Chain A
Amino acid sequence: MREVAVIGCGMTKFGELWALSIRDIFVEAALKAVDDAKVDHIDSMYVGSMTPGLFVGQEHIGALMADYLGTSPIPAVRVESACCSGGMAFRLGFFEIASGHSDIVLAGGVEKMTDGADVTYALAAAADQEYEVYNGITFPGLYAMIAMKHMHDYGTTKEQLAQVAVKNHANGTLNPYAQYQREITLEQAVNAAPVAYPLGLLDCSPVTDGAASIVLCAADKAKKYTDKPVKIIGSGQASDTLALHARRDICTLDSTVYAAKMAYKQANITPTDVDFAEVHDCFTIAEICAIEDLGFVKKGEGGSAVENKITTLDGSLPVNTSGGLKSKGHPVGATGVAQMVEITQQLRGEAGKRQVKNANIGLAHNVGGSGATCVVHILEAD
Chain B
Amino acid sequence: MKSNVARFWREIPQRYNLMGNKCGSCERVFFPPREACPYCRRKSIGKMKDFKLNGKGIIVTYSIIHAGPEDFEEQIPYTIAIIKLDEGPQLTAQIVDCDINDVKIGMKVESTFRRIQEDGYIGAIYYGYKFKPVR
Binding site for B on A (CB under 8 A): 118, 120-121, 124, 130-138, 140-141, 144-149, 152, 193-199, 243-246, 250
A-facing residues in B38-66 (Cβ within 8 Å): 60-66
Cβ contact within 8 Å between A136 and B63: no
Cβ contact within 8 Å between B69 and A121: yes
A-facing residues in B75-111 (Cβ within 8 Å): 75, 77-78, 80-83, 89-94, 105
Q: Is B36 an interface residue (CB 8 A)?
A: no
A136-B75, A136-B78, A195-B66 given as contacts; is B61 within 8 A of A131 (CB)?
no
The contact sample of 21 A-B pairs, CB cut-off 8 A, is: A134-B116, A134-B128, A135-B80, A135-B92, A135-B116, A135-B128, A136-B68, A136-B69, A136-B80, A137-B92, A141-B63, A141-B80, A144-B63, A149-B60, A152-B105, A195-B67, A198-B63, A244-B82, A245-B91, A250-B60, A250-B82
A135-B116, A145-B82 given as contacts; is B69 within 8 A of A120 (CB)?
yes
User: How many Å from the CB of B38 to the closest CB on chain A?
Assistant: 9
Q: Which residues of A contact B67 (CB under 8 A)?
A: 120, 138, 140, 195-196
| A140 to B65 alpha-carbon distance, docked (Å) | 8
User: How many Å from the CB of B33 to the closest CB on chain A?
Assistant: 11
| A196 to B63 alpha-carbon distance, docked (Å) | 6
Q: Which residues of B contact A120 (CB under 8 A)?
A: 67-70
| A149 to B68 alpha-carbon distance, docked (Å) | 21
Q: Is B1 an interface residue (CB 8 A)?
A: yes
Cβ contact within 8 Å between A136 and B72: yes
A144-B63, A145-B62, A194-B64 given as contacts; is B70 within 8 A of A130 (CB)?
no
| A135 to B77 alpha-carbon distance, docked (Å) | 14
Q: Which residues of B contact A144 (CB under 8 A)?
A: 63
Q: Which residues of A contact B82 (CB under 8 A)?
A: 145, 244-245, 250
- Listed from nearest, the 5 A-B pairs whose CB atoms lie closest are A144-B63, A149-B61, A197-B64, A245-B90, A194-B66
Q: Is B24 an interface residue (CB 8 A)?
A: no
Q: A135-B130, A140-B67 are in contact. List 4 more A-B contacts (CB 8 A).
A: A118-B70, A120-B68, A132-B92, A134-B117
| A39 to B93 alpha-carbon distance, docked (Å) | 53
| A54 to B76 alpha-carbon distance, docked (Å) | 25
Q: Is B11 an interface residue (CB 8 A)?
A: yes
| A84 to B62 alpha-carbon distance, docked (Å) | 25
User: How many Å from the CB of A106 to the closest CB on chain B?
Assistant: 36
Q: Is B133 an interface residue (CB 8 A)?
A: no
A121-B69, A132-B92, A245-B91 given as contacts; is B61 within 8 A of A148 (CB)?
yes
| A196 to B76 alpha-carbon distance, docked (Å) | 11
| A199 to B65 alpha-carbon distance, docked (Å) | 10
Q: Which residues of B contact A145 (CB under 8 A)?
A: 61-63, 80-82
Cβ contact within 8 Å between B92 and A244: yes
Cβ contact within 8 Å between A121 and B70: yes
Q: Interface centre among B63, B77, B90, B128, by most A CB within 10 Å?
A: B63
Q: Which residues of B contact A148 (CB under 8 A)?
A: 61-63, 105
